[in-house]
């Protein structure tokens, strides 16, 4: 998995999308960005253009650094979200916190 560059503020999470993300259709959320989102597993509303999705942050156990260094990776998930995004046609995403339970995702 590639370590793409990202930027964060109190209300936004912005990251470059590595090729592996587009090919495998996932949006990685860095561990230090978790504070921007509700608790892992708790749903929130995610606006993407004129569509709204129920989304959540999913944690997945991993040993990609070897069995002696187990850790978690975090991903943005939501029913229909993977099918809706134009994977491979954007290189950067921005997620903006609009309120405690509403976020907006844009891409370019």
pLDDT along the chain (108 residues), means of 10: 75 93 93 96 97 97 89 95 93 96 96
Q: Where are the domains of the chain?
A: 6-107
Task: Return the CATH class of domain 6-107.
Answer: mainly beta
Output 58-67 pairs: Cβ under 8 A, ≥24 positions apart. 64/1
Nearest to 17 by CA among 2, 33, 30: 2
Q: Could you tell me where the beta strands, DSSP code E, fall in the chain?
A: 6-8, 12-16, 27-29, 44-48, 51-62, 71-78, 92-99, 102-107
pLDDT of residue 4: 58
pLDDT tens, 9-33? 999 999 999 888 989 999 999 999 9
CB-neighbour burial class of residue 29 (10 A; exposed 0-12, middle 13-18, buried 19+): buried
Nearest to 40 by CA among 66, 12, 74: 74
DSSP 3-state assignment of 86? coil
Distance CA 20, CA 55 (A): 21
Structure letter (DSSP) for residue 70: -
């Amino acid at each position: 998995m590639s370590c793409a560059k990202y930027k964060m503020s109190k209300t936004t999470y912005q990251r470059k999308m590595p090729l592996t993300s587009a090919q495998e259709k996932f949006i990685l959320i860095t561990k230090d960005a978790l504070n921007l989102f509700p608790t892992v597993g708790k749903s929130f509303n995610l606006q993407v253009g004129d569509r709204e999705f129920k989304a959540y942050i999913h944690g997945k156990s991993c040993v990609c650094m070897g069995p002696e260094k187990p850790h978690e990776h975090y991903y943005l998930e939501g029913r229909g979200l993977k099918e809706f995004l134009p994977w491979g046609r954007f290189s950067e995403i921005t997620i903006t916190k609009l309120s405690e339970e509403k976020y907006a995702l844009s891409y370019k």
